[in-house]
Structure 1
Amino acid sequence: MTDLKSTLTGANRDAVVSDMAAFIESSVSGLSGFTGMAIKGAVGAARKADQNVISKGVNRLLPEFADALDPHWRSYRENGAHSGFGDYLEEHHTEVTDSILAVADRNADSIDQPAVAKVYSSVRGKLTGIINDHLGGLGSVIEKHAA
């Protein structure tokens, strides 16, 4: 079985980045409350500096996220008891979210836009819930390109 990183960062990387960026933008636009406003504000500020910040970020972090999600992908593929990778991710949300946040936290220090870094720091505690709410969609995007 090919690892998730090789699959997602290989020949179809551009399509993966495009779909993942669209998924993230859609997810962010649907956020509400104070945390949603803060995240939308940070994304807006980042877009002023670079309109393609989301897709560039996805492209840069895709190998790390794929590595982090690979054990979950392997378990899903070996188990076969779920109707889709999104369902698997939702069922294992604690471990999956921890894997995603570990990558995000490692990279938070290298954010070169102070406004974005400040927002990340201020909303970090709320990200678990936000990520959990979007695991089904994340799994669908990954499975579209990895299956």
Structure 2
Amino acid sequence: MTDLKTALTGANREAVVTDMAAFIDSSVSGLSGFTGMAVKGALGAARKADPDVVSKGVNRLLPEFCDALDPHWRSYRGDGAATDGGDFGGYLEKHGDEVTDSILAVADRNADNIGQPTVAKVYSSIRGKLTGIISDHLNGLGAVIEKHAA
């Protein structure tokens, strides 16, 4: 079984980055309420510093996210869920707290190392809201990953 990093950062990396950035943009645009306003405002501020911040961030962090999600991918592929009609998004949702913590651990480690103080400041302003946002979008995340890794 191929590990997630090999599957997603090889020859199809550009397509993975494009689809993941589009997924993130779509997810953010669908947010509503005060949280949605805060996240959209934060992303808008980050885009003022760098219009390609989402795709650059995805490209830069993709290997680390793959490492963080690989145990979940291996479990999903190994426990038969992949052949029993289940999908990776559903698997991620069932393990939501654990998966969200894995994703946020990568984001937290890298927030201060982005090289742009504006982006780091924006991240810290929305960090508390990210747990719920990520949890709500695990199914879509799983679909993007499975599209390119399966």
In which range does the TM-score fall when normalised by the shorter chain? Answer: over 0.9
Aligned to 2:102: 99
Q: CA deviation at 1:36?
A: 1.7
Aligned residues: 147
Aligned to 2:126: 123
TM-score normalized with structure 1 length: 0.94
Give yes or no for contact 1:27–1:134 (8 Å, CA) kept in 2. Answer: yes
> Which letter maps to 1:71?
P
Q: CA deviation at 1:115?
A: 3.6
Give yes or no for contact 1:42–1:115 (8 Å, CA) kept in 2. Answer: no
TM-score normalized with structure 2 length: 0.92
Give yes or no for contact 1:38–1:119 (8 Å, CA) kept in 2. Answer: no
Give yes or no for contact 2:45–2:122 (8 Å, CA) kept in 1. Answer: no
5+ residue gaps, structure 2 = none
Aligned to 1:139: 142
Partner Cα separation in structure 2 for residue 115 and residue 50 of structure 1: 10
Root mean square deviation of aligned Cα: 1.3
Percent identity, aligned pairs only, is 82
Partner Cα separation in structure 2 for residue 45 and residue 21 of structure 1: 17
> Which letter maps to 2:29?
S
Partner Cα separation in structure 2 for residue 89 and residue 17 of structure 1: 20
Selected match of 2:116 from 113, 123, 132: 113
